Structure 1
């Protein structure tokens, strides 16, 4: 799900990064689902298309149960998208990603990017727990770190 974040800069401080990473770790201790956050400087294409591209580039579609979720943010363009893989989309309510997007938008509009991400990650983790409970033999299929990329400047 895509949206615009109207003000502020989505670059995260080291402390904010730690909070977001810890939220990912905590959420993934309750589910076999995998959650990633990706932040870029600019997004010169449709934000949802870019999120899908990044999702594939990060190999999020390669999880065993196709249960990866990506929080994508574009810093300078104030846009974001939240998307899930086929396994998640097959079981969550039709409006789930809209619900997550709307909650994030409130935080982001107030410049609370880390808090918004933490809240969205917790919400996503709780929902994934329902459909993809944490198995005893679970392995962390994807890194928990935030990924960053500068989008090439065209000016």
Structure 2
């Protein structure tokens, strides 16, 4: 009987932390047609977290946004890996890799201080500002193309 039941995993974030991040996503998307998703898992199955982020991005069909302006915030908490993956539309408009490296560094600083939820929320806010600058909200055409909730992997 012992082998039939797996011990329940401790959640990666508390309910309050999850609410804070989802609220940050909703607030960030309020001023843009862009989309932001947060994906968290314990371990990264790849050596390079960007490869895993790319896989998750396409698995979640984030490339299907009408303006190609979706951004994935990928975090493997136990392995201490993270990546930001922006679709081609936002990647070009932000100036590419230097912008994303700056945001990753910001997130790392928060993580080093064990302020995970605050770091994710702050990063989401920064991405939202860039999205609103390059892809402003249009009340006539904008719709929420992707869910705002956090996706938890294994």
Is the shorter-chain TM-score for this pair beyond 0.5, marking a shared fold? yes
In the TM superposition, what whole-angstrom CA distance separates every residue of 1:85-122 from its partner, at most 9, and x where no partner exists?
Answer: 00001111231101111110100111111000011001
* Worse-superposed segment, 94-103 or 53-62: 94-103
Q: SS at 1:90's partner residue?
A: helix
CA contact (8 A) 1:10 1:73 kept: no
In 2, Cα distance between equivalents of 1:112 and 1:42: 19
Residue 144, structure 1, aligned to residue 148, structure 2: yes
CA contact (8 A) 1:51 1:83 kept: yes
Aligned pairs, number: 142
TM-score by length of 2: 0.89
Give the 5 Å matches for 1:1-155: 11-45=12-46, 46-94=48-96, 95-137=98-140, 138-150=142-154
CA RMSD of aligned residues (A): 1.3
TM-score by length of 1: 0.88
CA contact (8 A) 1:10 1:75 kept: no
Task: Report the structure number with the largest CA radius of gyration.
Answer: 2
